[in-house]
Structure 1
């Protein structure tokens, strides 16, 4: 293929008053990112960083085994640019044979580098380096072999000049940016030939309001791949048609207040940014706009869509709390990975860490489950009221001490009836939270930090305030599942001194399934043509271990008092699904975890008082319970197929 050589920088004062439009042929989603990554939805690792230096970008690329797909200059600090960058793992569908990135270049230098590297641009970012001096940051890939494309680029031009170039070349835009010299606005662009595997139905528009962007996307059945904000708050954007073989789940969103909020949004939806634009908003704060494409496998996508029925807002955004789901075959691949590394409060599901730490001490020979155990019981009322109470260290006095359990019984009660008193007893036994956090670090639980006594739901006894900043117990569904897998395969806990056996005995072992899970088994058996007897036998042979968690608690108001009510639900453990191998019953073992956290509600359901009902909270809790069972559906189908 012949590469169209760099165009000379041309400046024009011509202003465009109307939107421009272009349309090419229709095709399918891209199977590789050899052209761009805008229309590839194969799951991969991705990263977005903001406010980083050139040295930091280089370091992060090495750490992540990644390549840049977009670079945006946020501004100049002490003479050096700070960047917002987007990168993907440079492997699989996203691998290219060669790529480069630069900044501080003149337009002529960009052309020289393209020539010397035999490369083409995938992103061109003009920026003011100071005093109206325009420089360029650029990302380019090798334009040889499998990545060779006919292409073109321009800068310092008007929208009309871009339209002329596209009309004469038959290219489609893959990058479009604006920049200013004084009050004059100019455009830069990168385009590829809209032919062969690169052919797509597409449009580009300039100077559009948010309402107009939405309307044009809807009328075209499009998917935004580039979103560039003008000084006046209007947008220039590129879209491709999102129908037929080119259809995929996708989102776009304006005005993220931070890079972390953008990342949280993407992870909760299981999507990958294909464009990120950083700018200073009218109130002086930095904001981020972004377009996203699906980044999930089939099972994760199904879980995202299932939870999305309840936990997405009316605009399709994941604004209703935090939701996560994770399922991994022990010793095998991850089956479901939805938002699995987002730190969140999980309530009592994190008692698994207390159990793991205790059993690792037993395995090491530095503790014994048959020794005396002390916990404190200072509240009157039913057992449920006493075990669910928030432990108050000020009331841990000799008169309230209980020694009626040995350590084994204390751990069993912690897990079987979710006793907060005995959970606190393990913390006292080992001298505070630090040993548990040390175990989390030692066992690779990178998203887990214990900060408060389970049962207290963000309450800070020291200040008397609701304080999630300092009293949130962080963990992730990936970490929760890792504990169970590591116990099952003995990588995190040996059976020395029967430690592994005792862990599993405390972790609520069970055989058989709930009515709700049996209903899913029955549905999948019917779909496979299996008999009701097979479905019943399958369900009767399922084995489980695990621990759930539940909070009705509050986020703070402006004074640190209980403000917005929220609910938290979680569960993690092991599930073994029966399979038949030559007619012989065997098992596939999976670790799992799922949660909803900080889901805002106007009230709480009180199961003990029927007169106190809260349909909103009940709806969310029910949706979580249903999703918990749906997590296993695809693997149940696979296991049933062997019967």
Structure 2
């Protein structure tokens, strides 16, 4: 079933009312409640099992219902603007009993978003996802401000800081060299030496180091970048990068580089943190704000990363979603191929085993016959999981992008 379908599977009882999506069709007393006194929060549904709501309340945050939802006892449930009730309508139902009502305010949704239920049913960790149209509104969001352990996903902050320095002329991609450990990891706050690097060290120019950091995600190159911008002291480099995050990009205090990579990971106190909203903001600012990163440096920023020209597995996964969505309205094959040819993205993922997994990036599709583009930023994470049977990173990322693809295809 399509993830954005606003169709509700209703139990076959005579007393069941159909859910009315348009507020003017709701009972008058409910429609007039569009700007009421605030009701108590509905809270969260049970971790497993059906959710019965028997007292009037407001959804104060996006909610993913694990099973069936029933509104009863003359209760009015309000979904305020910017909030969502996500029910798996392929397998579950939302039931509104006589005398009760569901009020969906402008900007709110009661719908089915497949990825949310994929996370809910396949991990016991905290999870979240985020999709935003560039220069537009948030399209999908769950736990967008939760500070999760990002593993290598946060390396894009180091990449942005470095490329801003390239743009300013203080370093060059081919002329600035870094000492990179190759025999072991130097977890001290001192500059790399052969001894601290476990007996072996190599020299990489900045372009090689950034490429190794952003594609194969080499931790030693990443640590050398911290050292470079700290003048030999990695912690000073991290502080400068955190200033870029807050003062230049406008990221929140919930996002911070706190330690080297492959040096304790989440056992550090404090450890590295990132939020989905901050990740989205970084990509949006880097890709659209010339004060943050102008051309042609922006193009080089993307070229160094995993992108649509070198990440074939993600290209394949996204193209499969494009095919599925295009088939729903019989989009001409030539146009489908043109959209695929014009698709662009750049992203950085990270993980510590299967307990901490995340991905974030930028995505663009052609519209208006290729004369324009519609751009998006995206991110998702799993944090602290002991159970993780989720599909691949590519499957998660492409499914998150389905909403963007569905919006953009008819605009081509």
Give the TM-score, by structure 2 length: 0.69
Q: Is the 8 A contact 1:542 1:576 kept in 2?
A: yes
Offset from partner CA, 1:151-185 (integer Å, 9 cap, x none): xxxxxxxxxxxxxxxxxxxxxxxxxxxxxxxxxxx
> Does 1:575 pair with 2:363?
yes
Distance in 2 (CA, whole Å) between partners of 1:321 and 1:487 is 30
Name which of 537, 542, 547 aligns with 2:343. Answer: 542
Structure 1 position 471, deviation (Å): 4.2
- 1:362 maps to 166
- Indicate whether 1:502 and 2:300 are aligned: yes
CA–CA distance in 1 between the matches of 2:171 and 2:319? 41
Q: Which of 587, 606, 613 is the aligned partner of 2:373?
A: 587
Among 379, 402, 405, which residue is 1:633 paired with? 402
Match of 1:408 in 2: 207
* Aligned counterpart, 1:285: none
Distance 1:501 1:625, change over 3 A: closer
CA distance in 2, matches of 1:494, 1:457: 32
Match of 1:374 among 179, 194, 218: 179
Aligned to 2:194: 398
Indicate conservation of the 8 Å contact 1:30/1:39, yes or no.
no
Equivalent residue of 2:176, what SS? Answer: coil
Question: Deviations for 1:184-237, whole angstroms, at most 9, x for unmatched residues?
Answer: xxxxxxxxxxxxxxxxxxxxxxxxxxxxxxx9x97xx6443379xxxxxxxxxx
Cα distance per residue 1:438-491 (max 9 Å; x no partner)? 2222121102111122234536xxxxxxx35x1421111111121111111125
TM-score (norm 1): 0.46
Q: Is the 8 A contact 2:34 2:105 kept in 1?
A: no
> Do the aligned residues in 1 keep the contact of 2:158 with 2:225 (CA within 8 Å)?
yes
In structure 2, what is the equivalent of residue 38 of structure 1? 39
- 1:459-478 aligned at under 5 Å gives the runs 467-468=267-268, 470-478=269-277
1:344 lines up with 2:175 in the alignment:
no
Change (3 A) 1:40 1:508: same
Structure 2 contact 360–379 (Cα < 8 Å) conserved: yes
> Could you tell me how far apart the structure 1 residues matched to 2:202 and 2:364 are?
36
Shift of 1:38: 3.3
Aligned to 2:157: 353
Alignment of 1:186-197 (within 5 A): none
Question: Which residues in structure 2 correspond to 1:276-291 (within 5 Å)?
Answer: none
Counterparts of 2:148 and 2:104, CA distance in 1 = 23
- The alpha carbon displacement at 1:368 in A equals 2.6
Distance 1:521 1:361, change over 3 A: same
User: Does the C-alpha gap of structure 1 residues 309 and 249 become closer, same or farther in structure 2, counting only changes over 3 Å?
Assistant: farther
Q: Which runs of 5+ in 2 are unaligned?
A: 1-25, 44-48, 59-69, 88-102
Q: Give the 3-state SS of the residue equivalent to 2:144 in structure 1.
A: coil
Instruction: Give the Å deviation of 1:34.
Output: 3.5
1:520 and 2:315 are equivalent in the alignment: no
- Mapped contact 2:215–2:306 kept (Cα < 8 A): yes
| Distance (whole Å) between structure 2 residues aligned to residue 413 and residue 296 of structure 1 | 46
How far apart are the structure 2 equivalents of 1:246 and 1:539?
45
1:597 maps to 2:401: no
With over 3 angstroms needed to count, the CA separation of the structure-2 counterparts of 1:224 and 1:341, relative to structure 1, is same
**1:246-298: CA deviation from partner (whole Å, max 9, x where unpaired):** 67789xxxxxxxxxxxxxxxx99899xxxxxxxxxxxxxxxxxxxxx999967
- Map 1:117-128 to 2 at 5 A: none
Deviation readout 1:295-322 (Å, 9 max, x if unpaired): 996789644x532344259xxxxx9222
Rounded to whole Å, the distance in 2 between the matches of 1:343 and 1:242 is 38
Aligned to 1:110: none
- The count of residues paired between Structure 1 and Structure 2 equals 340
Partners of 1:534 and 1:404 lie apart in 2 by 47
State how 1:405-484 maps to structure 2 within 5 Å.
405-431=204-230, 432=235, 433-442=238-247, 443-446=249-252, 447-456=254-263, 458=265, 467-468=267-268, 470-484=269-283
Higher relative contact order (CA 8 A, sep 6+): 2
SS of structure 1 residue aligned to 2:362: strand
Change (3 A) 1:584 1:535: closer
**Distance in 2, Cα, partners of 1:299 & 1:363:** 43
1:165-244 residue pairs with structure 2 within 5 A? 222-225=53-56, 241=72
Distance 1:329 1:268, change over 3 A: closer
Structure with higher Rg: it is 1
Q: CA deviation at 1:576?
A: 0.7
Q: Deviations over 1:75-99 (max 9, x none)?
A: xxxxxxxxxxxxxxxxxxxxxxxxx
- CA deviation profile, 1:376-407 (whole Å, cap 9, x unmatched): 1114xxxxxxxxxx653389433546343211
Tell whether the 8 Å contact from 1:363 to 1:493 is kept in structure 2 after alignment: no
Q: Following the alignment from structure 1 to structure 2, what is the Cα–Cα distance between the partners of residues 351 and 540?
A: 28
CA distance in structure 1 between the aligned counterparts of 2:194 and 2:366, rounded to whole angstroms: 50
